[in-house]
Structure 1
Amino acid sequence: MEWLSQSLQPYKGFVGQVASYLTILQFFSGAFICREIQKKGSCKDISSVPFVGGVMIGLAFLKYGMMLKDEAMLTVNVFAIVLNVIYCIFYYIYATDKWNEFLKPLSVNIAIVAVLWGYCEWEDPELIEFRYGFIVTILMLLLLGNPLIGLKGMIEKKDASQIPFVLTLMGTLVTFSWLLYAIILMNNFMLVQNVIGFILCGVQLALIFIYPGQGKPPPINKKKKN
């Protein structure tokens, strides 16, 4: 790993910039889901988790940025929160069952954020930075892997169309770019989280191509008996 890090050192600035730009672009991928919702005229078969989860993760990392006093992290996450709030409003407008499709998952995510922010006030200041960062990383990975909850059903139906393609593609590119940056920095914490994130996104991307939603068996034509 060290030899790879040394080989990539001359490209450190470039890789960091690309990773940052891709992360910002990833925030706009929710617009494609909104466009799909608008075309369908409803939120049927489209989960609100990417949006409400995006708000939760944004607020969680915003607190982490405040803890580290990192202006770049604060700016990026304020931007992410604003965009995901807009997506949430859009989703709510088109939701048929507003409680189950949107308000219930939103309530759960707000509760999680409240617990996290409360934990920050309770934990030992010398331990909070690492422990909170670890907790938020786990939540981020759970959000990335959320579409895989229905993996068994996707394989049985040969249909992975419920996985948002643009969001997954951007997630794959973002985690890979930050993985390269982690290798350059030799940052094990960043390395582990992006290896797991890249694998989760990569599996989902593979499922989209293997089961694009066109693998349903053709209808059986029953012959009428005379």
Structure 2
Amino acid sequence: MATILLVDDDPNILQLVRIHLSEQGYRVFEAKDGMAALDILKKEPCDLAIVDVMMPYMDGYTLTKEIRVQYDIPIILLTAKSQIEDKEQGFQAGTDDYLVKPFEPKELSFRIKALLRRYDSQGDEGIFHFGETTINKKSYEVQIGSRTFLLPLKEFELLYYLASNPRQVFSREHLIEQIWGLDFQGDERTVDVHIKRLRERFSKVTDDFQIKTVRGVGYMVEAQQS
């Protein structure tokens, strides 16, 4: 069974979630702040992290960014905040999911299982080659010739999704659902902003692939075959 890192400065939440997850067979490591969580991750391989937003020393947003840079594991943010701006900040930090307190432990379990399935389904696949360009899902890197690009999480996932389905046109609504999830409460302009950033990064660097706009429909990638 999977190993889960639980990070929260509320001992009641730690106990409630630990008991619930342990009963389902998960191995659980607990940390009361972000610094302690990073120490655990250095020593123990974890399959998923559940992170509270409001914590001393290092808040959940900062911890999420740190985890995302160093480890390829799914993250669920737990928070008492339910404003769209707070959720946006969480997703920008790199979280995969967001659960507002108070929550039902069963709902947390559903979300954990869904994320673990999503990450496990990647398996040994996840590397695409177009000309001199390699898009690597395992390392979240784009390599073009001798240059390596490390992208923000959602930018990479958007590029990876489009590149894995070359010449297929996707609507903004579809891309929101696939990359940001059904719970995302922002608008479709988020896709446009991320596409613009990707074009700015790569349009002058390589001709191996291009992100094209299909007017009135959405976006697609045209790529050279290796």
TM-score (norm 1): 0.24
Is the radius of gyration larger for structure 1 or structure 2?
1
- Which structure has more relative contact order (CA 8 Å, sep 6+)? It is 1
Between Structure 1 and Structure 2, the one with more strand by share is: 2
TM-score (norm 2): 0.24
